[in-house]
Each structure stands twice: as structure tokens, then as C-alpha cells.
Structure 1
């Protein structure tokens, strides 16, 4: 087994103190990850499930998100303690780096394929064509997919520190999406539909009253929150945000304007003194607040709002595939 360089020693920085004028310092990885997590699952699969089965199954998303909160806190603690990504921590364990690299390459294979770029290209094509694209429009959708995929690299090229660029992008995305969906839900969705969805988040154990697919419900649980191995990014973001010992190891710089930022190849830890342990409690409180006040609520709202809209406008729809659920909802709102 290949041996990793031992951790270096340093002092644990003081956690930020909440002040009204400096509230932006408390915007952490939770908000950034919430922005990235509100995507294809919340826009397509979640509304499809609620349109077919109603809001009574949304408790599955609640449990999935709460379980992920526990996992997120665990992997963030690692980065908080040593400034390393938790993936590096996994590589430090037996049976060694070769095994774990191969293991994670295989189980995360699906994330390498830029399918979300193709999903994002469909609504752009629909705007251009003024209809949902068909198989005959494959060249247009493919070209738009390439454009979306390449555009996604822009925040990684400029901005000094990649984290800062991503944070600005995701805060903007969250603000626009939740404001738009919130306005539609408030003005066009009936109170009965709102109650159906909101109460469904806490109707633990309820199942659809009609015939249903266990595979569909399992997939619904999988897409709630982050899904897959994307939660691991929380540990990277804690480091790049500069929380805990992340402030001592640096962050990933952008290609342009980030030459003065360095990322240490080895983590740094602190001695377990009374002073450091007191600081540690402050950092852990910050992590808990970030998860419970930002990430989890944003994920729940991001799931609930599209579900309200689909339940209101295409309730009871059957045999819907692909992007049709979004198209049907859009047509219903327009009509």
C-alpha cells in the first residue's frame, strides 16, 4: 500500500462570528451545493412522480435529505480537521490507493457523462423551435449541448479562486429559480395543491393509493438532495471556502487570475488543546447551521415548488417520458 505524506501541524483558525454586517461570511458550501443540486431531478423526475402519485410520497425526499445531512456533516468534519478532501481520506485507508481509485472510477462512472448538458439543451432548443424538439432536431440539440457544456467551464477559468466564482453563479441561480417558481406557486397553484405537497413532506410511510413502481420510488429517493457521490464535493468546498484547517492548505485556483493561490498537497491538523477544541465547537456549529438552515431547506423547497406546479397542472398524467413532463407543465401554465 502506498504511504501518504503525514499530516503537517498548524493552529486551527477562529470560526467566524455572526454579525449583521458580515452575514455573507456565513454563506457556506450548503448554499453552493443547493444551487448545483437543483437540477434535472427536481425539474423532471420529481414533478413526474408527484403528477402521477400525488404529494403523499414526498416524505421519501424528506428522509433522503435528512440522511444526507448526517453524511455531509461527517465528510465535512474530515475537511474541517485536516483540510483534505474526504476522497483523499479514503485513499489513505487500506487496501490502498490503486484499489480505491479504481473503485470510485467505476461506481461514479455515470457522472462523467455530460448528460445534464443534453438536458439543459432541450429547453433552449424548445425556445428556438417554439416546440419540444424531436428526433429530427438531433443536430440542433447536440450543438446546443456542446455549447452548454463548454460554457460551464467559464467559472473555472476566471475569478481567482474557483470556489468564489461558483458561489456567485449558484447564488444567482438559486435566487432566479426559487423566485420564479415561488411566484408561480403563489399566484397560480391552489391552496389545496400546496397543502397536498407540503403535508406530503411529513406523511411518513404513506404510499400511492393506486398501482405504483418501487423502482420509481427508489429513484425518487436517489435524486432527492445531492444524489450519487456528489455529496463528497462538500468536503472539497469546506476546504476551498477556507473553513477550519482549509484556511491553512489553500484552495483550487482558476486558470486565469489564480496564480497567487496555492493548494497544499498535504493536509494540516491541529493539536487537541483546550483552545483548539473550543474553536472546533464553533466550526461544528457553523457546519450544522450551514446544513440545517441553508442546504436542507433549499433542497426541500427546490423539490416542493416544481412538485406543486406539476401537481396543479398535470395531475394524474400517465406514461410520461423524458422532458415531456416539463413541456406539459409549461403548456398548461401558458394555457
Structure 2
């Protein structure tokens, strides 16, 4: 805390706006913003570097390759809108910090009805962030390297289960170490993220320039601006002539493909909370079903011919004349279980996945009923984590404070438990008087923050999506992407990379195989550090100011509070790692977008209420942030509806 911070600096008394349960701001003088030159550019990089390093994480490496592998780059526009909305959000929450030296979460607590209400509300909104899904998934590439290239199968192999759990615990504990050392925690994370960005970007750029095609990059660039594209289920015979014409071969298999019906259970006919009926003919009605006993389990099986026996084949029309001409087995691999879909051509890939524009459905001849709603929630999950996702963006304002930017210069920072003995954190923010002298300095600081976000964080997010997308589009077939479990996508492309690079040398191919898997680990594990720090930091910061009991503590004891919360989070994380990785990320992302949408709207209220009029955002920025909040809230609602099974009921 700077000695320049005073109770009523030079006769100026800080306003006490909003909830009176929060302490009045101190006052101080706004220092000059640093000048950005070619010599000091790296030293002036701020939160954008840490958040940019974090942005290349779960969504981009876990969900992105799955989406682009199956649908190409046609759905990346959703990530574009998500990133643009988030960069505006990051700048605007930093606007508040530049004026007060407080993180945005503290500002939220200052608005009525007060901190008690907002604590409960944001604990609910932020619930998903506490699940350590990144640590669970970072164990996959580590386990693959240990097993010499074989992806662990913890669901069916006991030794793999113990291996994966042990590695997940190791990654999780290791990710917390940078939060204990190094003075300011901010500096430790900055060093970790710099290493991650250099290694991951360096390797992926090597593959991009050396072994990808220009066509792949054209597809990715186009995908970022293909606004309105949605996933559909549609055969490749667009003109209905029964032939495979140019431009119709979506999956490049040189065959005219049909929509292969799903055999998944989508209806709960007896309202017992369990799905028990399929919809093979996609008519919106449950199929007749019978029970089949296999290995002591009861399986549900279609009985479309009504003979009270499980159907072994499905009559299929391959000519479009309305007459069935092919009997397709429902259990091709003869494992006694129903296949996931009716594999008409036996290629083990569900044909019919495609993308189309909403505009053509609204104003053209396309049918809106072709939309594949089963993938909406999954794709919303990608948009949820693209960039940072959820309330994971809010530490941007904390790091702005810790960097000493704007009025953060007077407030202090959260130190690490070891090595941060001389660092303090004030219990209240510090504001400045808006004058003819201070306003130009304020504008310079705002420009400094905007440059950090637009020049570092924004490009990092787009590159962080484009490079993993390049891997799946260039080195993974449609069938592999469709069959691949989304939690092992970071290692499935490694073999494809090795095969392509091996043409330049077998040793180089093996090295690139290793690096592909290792980068999967680097993408996930360090992001676990920033994710853990983010959730701990935003709540410790908020309570440090909002709690009357904590305000009685010496400012230098902030590290004790941080350490206690870190220990509690560690215990919770170790317990949650007992859950399957798929469940962890489902819980974590379900409410990400809803939380971010509400936080966007809340930020508009904060900046138009607590800030002096000359410092408030312009009308265009307010409207843009409100619209961004609506976009995130809509995606979040779709994700919740899909994961709870309500989307299927609503769409029929």
C-alpha cells in the first residue's frame, strides 16, 4: 500500500456510493501511465499475458479439436463472438480497477442490495469453476507417454484407473506450487505462462508452416467469420440426383453418404428419470422397445416390427424411392450391445453430420428441422471455454491491480505464502479526484489496458483455437474425430502428426509425436495453476474488503488468508478428482456462460453507477457489453437444457 494513499487526499473526500456495508474508499493521486516503446514492451505486458496463456486451455485443446474434427472449421464463429465479448468484458472490468484499485468482484459487492446478497449469488454462479477438470485431463497425455503411446483406459483397466488418478493428483498438487512461492503470485504465473506460450506456440507454428496445407488455413479463417452456421444432420445428395457431385463429399470418403440414424436412448417414457426409448426414424416419437438381458444387465432394444423380439437389422432406403433395399445390422461388431448408430456403409463413422447456415434455413430452402440439437450443448461448451470462460476472466482486474496499474499503485497485491513478506494489500480501494490534470492520465491508463488486451490476449485466444483446430483438420480423419472420446482428443492426433512428419525423417516424426502429446500436457497443467489462483483470488479479494472481521486484520496478513483458502481448495479438489473427467468438465462448464452473461450486465451497472461520469463507458460500449451478456446467457441456457435432457423434449 503506497504512502501516497490518504484518507482525504488534498481536501478531496472519496464518495461512499452503494452499499454502506462496504468501507469508504481512500483517496490518492493517479500516477502517470508508462510509455510503451520498442525497448520496454515486454516489461509492460500485463494481465493479457497471463490470461492469454490461460486461454489456451481446456476449451481449445479438449473440445475444439472434437468440434473441428467432426464439422471442420464451420462452427468457429461461435468462438469468435465469445472471444470478442470477453475482450470487451476484460477491458471494462479493468476500467473499474483503474479508478478504485479494487478488483471487479469487490465492485459487485458495493452495489445494492449489498455484499450478503451478492456473496450467495456469485457462489452459485461460480460453482463450476471449482472443479479441477484440467488436472484430470492433463493426466491423459502423461499416462499415454508412460504407457508408450497407448491411451489409458481407466474405465476398463484397473491399473489404468490407479495410474490416471495418481497422475491427476500429481498434476493438481504441482499446479498449486507456483501459488506458494515467488513474492507476488502474479509474477510466478507470468513466468509459467510465458514458458507455456513459447513452447506450445513454437511447436504448433512449426507444424503449421511445415506440414499443413493452405486450404486448411483458409477453412479455419473462413470458419471464424461464418456467422450463423449450425450443425445439421443431412445426406450428401444435396440436389437429389442420386450421384456424388462436386462439393457434396463432406467427409472426403468418395461415397454418397446418407443420414445414419442414432440408436441412442432419447426418451423417458415412464418418467422414472432414465431414458428408455430411441427415435430411429427421427419422427419425434419413441420407438417400440423391448428388454434384452446381457451379462446380467438389462438393455433397451428397438422392436420396430412389433414382434416383441429385439430387431437384429433395420430396413434402410438407400435410393430415396421410399422403398427399403438394404438390411443394416444393429450390432455390427456382435458384442451383444446396440451400436451407437445405424452404420449403413460399415465405416464406423456416423454419416450425415454437416453444417448449414441459419440464414438459408430462414430465407432459403433448407429445413430448420435438420439442426442436430444433440450437439448444441457440446458446441456451447466450446464457446463457454473459448478464451477464458465463465468467471475465469474476472482475475484480469485482480492482475491489473497486482501489476500496480492505475490506482492499483496505491493498494498493494496478494503475496505468495513464501517469499512475499514485504507485500501488503489494503482493505479498501483508493480513488482519485477527476480534474483537468488527472483525466489525461486516466485516458492513458485505459489505453494501456486496452492495448494489453487487444494486442496480447485477443490474438492469443484466436491463435489458441486456430492451431489445435489445424491439428484436428489436418491430421485427423472425420471417422477418428467422431469416434474419439473428447477427453483423449489431445493425444489422438499425435499418430497423424507422426505419420505426416515421418516423411522428413523417422526420428523427427517420433519427436513430433512426443511433442504433440507433451503440448497437450503443457496446455492443460499450467492453466490449472491460473484457474486455481483465479477462483481463490477473486473470493479472497472480495472478502478482504467486504468482511468486517477480515478488515480488522493487518494488511500484511492477506497472504495468511490466501494460504488458508488455498488449503481448503486443495482438499476439495483432491476429493473431486475421484469423479470421472467427463463428469468434471460437464459440471464445470454447465453454468459458465450463464455466469459470464450475468457478470457482463453487472459490470455495466457498476461502471455506470460507481464511477464518476467522465470515466464511465460510452453508450456504444454499454450496449455492446449488454448484447455480449445476452449471447453468453443464451449459450449457457442451451447448454443447461441439453445436459439436463430438456432440449430434446423441447425440440421434439
Q: Where in structure 1 are there 5+ consecutive unaligned residues?
A: none
Higher relative contact order (CA 8 A, sep 6+): 1
Select the residue among 141, 161, 165 that pairs with 2:184: 161
Q: Is the 8 A contact 1:54 1:315 kept in 2?
A: no
Instruction: Look up the SS of the partner of 2:134 in the other structure.
Output: helix
Distance 1:305 1:298 in 2: 10
Post-superposition shift, 1:25? 2.9
- In structure 2, the partner of 1:133 is 152
Listed one character per residue, the Cα deviations across residues 308-329 of structure 1 (whole Å, up to 9, x for unaligned) are: 1101121423243232322321
Separation (CA, whole Å) in 2 of partners of 1:171 and 1:52: 32
In 1, Cα distance between equivalents of 2:130 and 2:98 = 27
Work out whether residues 16 and 25 of structure 1, in 8 Å CA contact, stay in contact via their aligned partners in 2.
no
d(CA) in 1 for partners of 2:379, 2:166: 33
Q: Does 1:172 align with 2:195?
A: yes
Which position in structure 2 is the counterpart of 1:81?
99
Q: Greater share of helix residues, 1 or 2?
A: 1
Q: In structure 1, what is the equivalent of residue 384 of structure 2?
A: 222
Aligned equivalent of 1:122: 140
Shift of 1:2: 6.2
2:441 and 2:130 map into 1 onto residues whose CA distance is 38
Deviations along 1:10-59, one digit per CA (max 9) or x if unpaired, are 00111010122212232010111010121121112011101111112111
Query: Which residue does the alignment assign to 1:55?
Result: 73
Superposition deviation, residue 106 in structure 1 = 1.5
Any idea what the Cα deviations from partners look like across 1:79-127, whole Å, max 9, x if unmatched?
1110111111111112222221111111211211212111111111111
Q: Which moved more, 1:70-79 or 1:92-101?
A: 92-101
Instruction: Give the stretch that moved more between structures: 312-321 or 85-94.
Output: 312-321
Q: Secondary structure at the match of 1:289?
A: helix
**Cα deviation 1:153-200 (Å, max 9, x = unaligned):** 221111111111111111111111111111112212111112111221
Moved more, 16-25 or 123-132: 16-25
**Counterpart of 1:322?**
486
Aligned pairs for 1:1-335 (under 5 A) are: 3-130=21-148, 131-135=150-154, 136=157, 137-208=160-231, 210=354, 212=372, 213-316=375-478, 317-335=481-499
Query: Are the equivalent residues in 2 in contact too, given 1:160–1:257 (CA < 8 A)?
Result: yes
Partners of 1:129 and 1:246 lie apart in 2 by 48
RMSD value, Cα: 1.4
DSSP 3-state at the match of 1:55: coil
- 1:330 and 1:268 map into 2 onto residues whose CA distance is 51
> Structure 2 CA distance, aligned partners of 1:227 and 1:17?
31
Equivalent-residue separation in structure 2 for 1:246 and 1:62 (angstroms): 31
Distance 1:206 1:295 in 2: 26
Task: Provide the rounded CA distance (Å) in 2 between the counterparts of 1:257 and 1:84.
Answer: 23
SS at match of 2:394: helix
**Shift >4 Å, 4+ stretches:** none
Using the TM superposition, name which of 148-157 and 257-266 deviates more: 148-157
Distance 2:57 2:490 in 1: 12
Whole-Å separation in 2 of the counterparts to 1:57 and 1:126: 30
In structure 1, distance between residues paired with 2:447 and 2:438: 14
Distance 2:441 2:171 in 1: 42
Aligned to 2:274: none
Q: Distance in 1 between the 2:227 and 2:486 partners?
A: 28
SS in 2 for 1:21: coil
Distance across 2 between alignment mates of 1:19 and 1:305: 29
Q: Report SS of the residue matched to 1:165.
A: helix
Q: How many residues align?
A: 335
Contact 1:30–1:291 under 8 Å retained in 2: yes
**2:83–2:458 CA contact under 8 A, matched in 1:** yes
What residue is the counterpart of 2:346 in the other structure?
Answer: none
Do 2:55 and 2:460's aligned partners in 1 also have CA atoms closer than 8 Å? no
- Residue 75 of structure 2 contacts residue 224 of structure 2 at CA under 8 Å; is this kept in 1? yes
Q: CA deviation at 1:144?
A: 1.1
Instruction: Check whether the contact 1:54–1:208 (CA below 8 A) recurs between aligned residues.
Output: no
Distance 2:390 2:211 in 1: 33
